[in-house]
Structure 1
Amino acid sequence: MEFRHLGRSGLIISEIAYGNWLTHGSQVEEDAAAACIRAALDAGITTFDTADVYAETRAEAVLGRALKGERREGLEILTKVYWPTGPGRNDRGLGRKHVMESIEGSLRRLQTDYVDVYQAHRFDTSTPLEETMEAFADVVRSGKALYIGVSEWTAEQIRAGHALARELRVPFISSQPQYSALWRVIEAEVVPTCEELGIGQIVWSPIAQGVLTGKYLPGAEPPAGSRATDSKGGANFVARWLRPDVLEAVQLLRPLAEQAGLSLAQLAVAWVLQNRNVSAAIIGASRPEQVAENVKAAGVTLDEGLLKAIDEILAPVAETDPARTAENAPKSRP
């Protein structure tokens, strides 16, 4: 495993992080989830990402039980707040009430006294940004989080939040966007802004919901047990990539991966790690062997010729419009 600073902060994280969205507490049983976490630990992963909303709060609890007994100082645990975790009008968003109550629930489920990074899971258009940042500042000052971050905020929102964080003297160090060789919308605006402000990217879906593994073949039914067959939500997220043009382009990457001595999944994870603003790539797994395969992308350097060839193949199908971040954001509190 290789390690990187998270932005310009003093926090060092594993460049492959383990995340449990769409798996723990829903798609796989707890014993399988625990086996994947053990595989991550055995591979040298120290950074674990989750959120209160994953599997209706069950994912945090699964992670907490699996990490119990590990040396807390040797781990970096990240979680998030925003999406609904209950039926009430204030069981959602980034208002002070929900933020302060949610951190308590997350710590209880994770069985820890603090999280390393507490992240705003989306931007809350229904709450003044000043209220949100003051609440996050109080979470940090209480010792319940060491740093703060955001997920899927636009460059403009990140800049505004960072300015308030500086005024409040709170370390705002991370952004967690979707990023892969197929989804490159952060490159034009979010990445330059974060480089300027000293914020690092912890990116999710580096293998595009499994599409960049090459397991989905043009004209063929999705493999049994794959995310595309998951009726609990996974199929909805991967559907947009199951177009013939995308799947055909991915298959053209296979000889490039072989040339680099990598699987397609390893190539995809290594690709996002070539971006100097990326501090870590989050991988998920339903089987321990998936963890063992994907961590081999750590420390890999792809040469310029290979990167150019990948870009040429995927350019016709890759999404690059920076406006997509705002388009995909909630327009009002859910």
Structure 2
Amino acid sequence: MEYISLQGLEKKVSRLMKGSDYFYHQNYEKAAANMDAFFAAGGNSIDSAHIYCGGQSEEVIGRYLKERNNRDEWVILTKGAHHDQHGPRVSKEAIKHDITASLSRLQTDYIDMYALHRDDPNVPAGEVIEILNEYVKNGTVRTIGVSNWTWERIRDANAYAEEKGLTGFSFSSPNLSLAKANEPFWPGCVSADEETCKWHEAEQFPLFSWSSQARGFFTGRFTPENRDNADLVRVFYSDANWERLERAKQLAAERNVTPIQIALAYVLNQPFPTCALIGAQSEEELRSCDEGSRIKLTREELAWLDLSSDER
């Protein structure tokens, strides 16, 4: 498995990152087995959040790491400051509350990668940097980033950090997939568009993609006529995405792989550092992701898959 480096983090991060939004106490054995298999395949990074599974995701991870006694071999990405029924929660008080709870649930005294789960554009980017630097300075957080922020907000935050001699953001986690979103999957979500990707390439700024395989759009289970999954229809059903699927099928046949592996390779072959958050819940799915992560695509193939070119 391949790895990337992040500013402020001593450990390298596996380019496949295990998703944990199905980790509940009642299915602990399944979650633990999935993490064992992922670790055996070379994976060392896991994604969670304060809100996942009502907090059970972090608790399951904490239990697993304590039982296996291998906390320092894993890179934990967890997120906080998600909005609630009252609105945005990007504040000093909310961040402190969520980090404190996450540390307790994870049974650890530090978080490798901490990200704000959502943005509140009404809060100055510099103010957010000041808040998070308190946790970097005291060692609670190794490196900081954001999820579902625009590249402009990240740019402004990091410009402030550089001016003040503070630690800036070292990663961003929006949606990036071969299938392009018609609208946000959830309120406040951000998908990486062409302009975002150009900025990431220019800055060589690491991107950790959620829904990297478009929530199964490339599995072959979906057709324009099959409209059973309302969310998938709303977000990913479009003429352009059906054409992207057809091109993925064509390239997959030529490479003797599957379309969903091509979709994963699309994310991991971008001209800037990327990691893909994966939802593999079985050995077969994990094997598919591992194989897909090894596929190399040229710049011309990326453009052809993405409909930017008709030649490859």
**TM-score normalised according to structure 2 size:** 0.84
Structure 1 residues 189 and 239: alpha-carbon distance in aligned structure 2, compared to 1, 3 A threshold: closer
> Which residue does 2:43 correspond to in 1?
45
Answer 1 or 2: higher relative contact order, Cα 8 Å, separation at least 6: 1
Contact 2:247 2:305 in 1 (8 A): no
CA 1:196 to 1:271, structure 2 compared with 1: closer, same or farther past 3 Å?
Answer: closer
**Structure 2 partner of 1:140:** 136
Residue 186 of structure 1, aligned match among 192, 201, 209: 192
Q: Which residue matches 1:36?
A: 34
In the other structure, the counterpart of 2:185 is none
| Amino acid aligned to 1:122 | R
Q: Which moved more, 1:98-107 or 1:49-58?
A: 49-58
- 2:207 aligns with 201
Give the structure 2 partner of residue 108 of structure 1: 104
For 1:212, what is the secondary structure of its paired residue?
coil
Which residue of structure 2 lines up, in the alignment, with residue 282 of structure 1? 277
Quote how far apart the aligned CAs of 1:171 are: 4.3
Please give the secondary structure, in 2, of the residue aligned with 1:160.
helix
Cα distance in 2, alignment partners of residues 191 and 304 from structure 1:
13
Tell me the equivalent position of 1:260. 255
Distance verdict in 2 for CA 1:57–1:240, change over 3 Å:
same
State the SS of the aligned residue for 1:106.
helix
User: Once the two structures are superposed, what CA deviation does each residue of 1:174-225 show, in whole Å capped at 9, x if it has no partner?
Assistant: 0101001122863533334344545311111111111022221342465xxx
Equivalent AA in structure 2 for residue 179 of structure 1: L
Q: What does residue 19 of structure 2 align with?
A: 19
- Among 64, 76, 84, the alignment partner of 1:66 is 64
Which residue of structure 2 lines up, in the alignment, with residue 310 of structure 1?
305
Aligned partner (choices 144, 148, 167) of residue 170 of structure 1: 167
List per-residue Cα deviations over 1:157-184 (Å, max 9, x = no partner).
0111112333252142101010011228
Counterpart secondary structure, 2:50: coil
CA contact (8 A) 1:218 1:248 kept: no
Quick one: structure 1 residues 194 and 305, their matched pair in 2 at CA, closer, same or farther if it must change by over 3 Å? closer
After TM superposition, give the deviation of residue 314 of structure 1 in Å: 9.9
The answer as to 2:220 corresponding to 1:214 is yes
Q: Does 1:4 align with 2:14?
A: no
How many residue pairs get matched? Answer: 299
Letter in 1 for 2:169: F
SS, match of residue 194 in structure 2: coil
Deviation readout 1:223-252 (Å, 9 max, x if unpaired)? xxxxx3xxxxxx636642245774465245
Give the match's secondary structure for 1:253.
helix
Give CA deviations for 1:41-76 in whole Å, capped at 9, x if unaligned: 121111111111112222222222233324222211
Letter in 2 for 1:269: L
Counterpart secondary structure, 2:54: helix
1:5-45 CA-partner distances (Å, limit 9, x unpaired): 23797652111111223x2239x833322222222112111
Asked whether the equivalents of residues 82 and 116 of structure 2 are also in contact (C-alpha less than 8 Å), the reply is no
In 2, the alpha carbon distance for the partners of 1:119 and 1:32 equals 26
Q: Provide closer, same or farther for how the CA distance between residues 217 and 32 of structure 1 changes in structure 2, counting only shifts above 3 A.
A: farther
Deviation of 1:94 (Å):
1.5
Query: Do the aligned partners of 2:19 and 2:48 also contact (CA within 8 Å) in 1?
Result: yes
- What SS does the aligned partner of 1:280 have? strand
How large is the Cα RMSD of the aligned pairs?
2.9
The change in CA–CA distance for 1:100 and 1:168 in structure 2 (over 3 A counts) is: farther
Q: Find the aligned partners of 2:270 and 2:115 in 1 and give their Cα distance.
A: 22
1:242-264 CA deviation, whole Å, 9 max, x = no partner?
Answer: 45774465245323112112222
1:301 equivalent in alignment to 2:300: no
Please give the alpha-carbon distance, in whole angstroms, between the structure 2 residues aligned to 1:202 and 1:80: 13
2:265 matched residue in structure 1: 270
Please show how residues 141-160 of structure 1 align to structure 2 within 5 Å. 141-160=137-156
Asked whether the equivalents of residues 23 and 53 of structure 2 are also in contact (C-alpha less than 8 Å), the reply is: yes
Aligned with 2:113: secondary structure? Answer: strand
**Alignment partner, residue 331 of structure 1:** none
CA contact (8 A) 1:252 1:313 kept: no
Q: Distance in 2 between matches of 1:306 and 1:270?
A: 11
Alignment-mate amino acid for residue 263 of structure 1: T
- Percent identity of equivalent pairs: 29
Gaps of 5+ in 2: 182-190
Unaligned residue ranges in structure 1 (runs of 5+): 223-227, 229-234, 316-334
CA distance in structure 2 between the aligned counterparts of 1:276 and 1:54, rounded to whole angstroms = 31
Instruction: Give the letter for the 1:17 counterpart.
Output: M
Aligned mates of 2:252, 2:260 — CA distance in 1:
9
- Mapped to 1, the partners of 2:81 and 2:27 lie a distance apart of 26
Change (3 A) 1:186 1:8: farther
